[in-house]
Amino acid sequence: MLSHTRMSVHDKPAEGASGGGGPGVKRPVVALALGAGAARGWSHIGVLHELAAHGLRPEIIAGTSIGAVVGACWACGRLDQLEDFARSINKRTIFGMMDLSFSGAGLIGGGRLRARLEKALADIRIEDVYPRFAAVATEVGSGHEVWLTKGPICDAVRASYALPGIFEPVRTGGRWLFDGALVNPVPVTVCRAMGADIVIAVNIIGDTLFRGTVVGDAPVVENEMIDEMPVRSGMSMLRDRATSLFRRREDGAPGIGSIMMDAFNITQDRISRSRLAGDPPDVMIKARLDGVGLFDFHRAADLIAMGREAARRGLPDIMDHIALSPAVTEPSI
């Protein structure tokens, strides 16, 4: 399993340790930039598994949105738990994880997802994990790109995936923040600023725009949701309304949720093209995710396998860059 091959905070190499190139010689610092892409982000898990299987352990991980979720779990040694959770999702439980809000700043309050994250990441702070981690978010109002490199890692992750209009924004560090994909969908620049010599980017947005596909049948509310919500005659009406937010109408028009996600995806696609053209990674990993929608969270098994295959295709390029990277000789004392 991955937990047997990854480096934890206790495995952090000592300052000045050589990386196999002889005394006083350091390996190049390898970073991983995990991009945004909603459900498609489960493929990041497969990428990390495949890299770890070949002994590749990034020293820096920067993530945006779902990339921040996966990257944080990897850095905290919780990737196996995240994978178990992802694989447990099916078509009939997706809406059971969403606490819908019709009066707040987003369609989904996010309380249930927050509770799961807090349980998994507890009181872990970003500055205490290794590899080094950063999450990208956007400041509400100003549009400033914010790199979260200190503080509770759970808050940073929540801010990074808070899609405008879908999830409520998160207040952290005195700022209201939401999804970092609005400013930096694939955070290559963050990795470089953190000292990376080689940046491997995982872009899951794709070259062609895709449509989010959502469960069409009526969702089943799990026991935990029933416990938290009062039983009343109007429950079925609430469920129907929740489903209709993301389902197409009889005349073929998409629901408001689908419209918002499509608009967000178009913006994200254009921004990522511009950012990557200005600061391309050393190696780009692109999974073949055609036919996978933004809301296909129930397809974790397929997506993880797709991520492994994408990483496998990129391995020769990664190894070439590491081999050709000039060694950094540390001064002798």
Name the residues annotated as catalytic: 65, 179
Tell which residue, 221, 223, 255, 237, has the closest CA to residue 107: 255
Q: Is the dihedral of CA 253, 258, 264, 267 positive or negative?
A: negative
Angle (CA) 324-68-298 rounded to 5° is 110
C-alpha span between 172 and 160 (Å, rounded): 11
Which two structure tokens, joined as six digits, stand for 220? 């089943």
3-state SS of 196-236 is: CCEEEEECCCCCCCCCCCCCCCCCCCCHHHHHHCCCCCCHH
CA distances from 73 to 3, 95, 134 (A): 11, 23, 12
Q: Is the Cβ–Cβ distance between 44 and 165 less than 8 Å?
A: no
d(CA 236, CA 234): 6
- In degrees, rounded to 5, the angle at the alpha carbon of residue 177 between the alpha carbons of residues 172 and 178 is 135
Tokens 């497969």 correspond to 46
The CA distance from 331 to 15, in Å, is 13
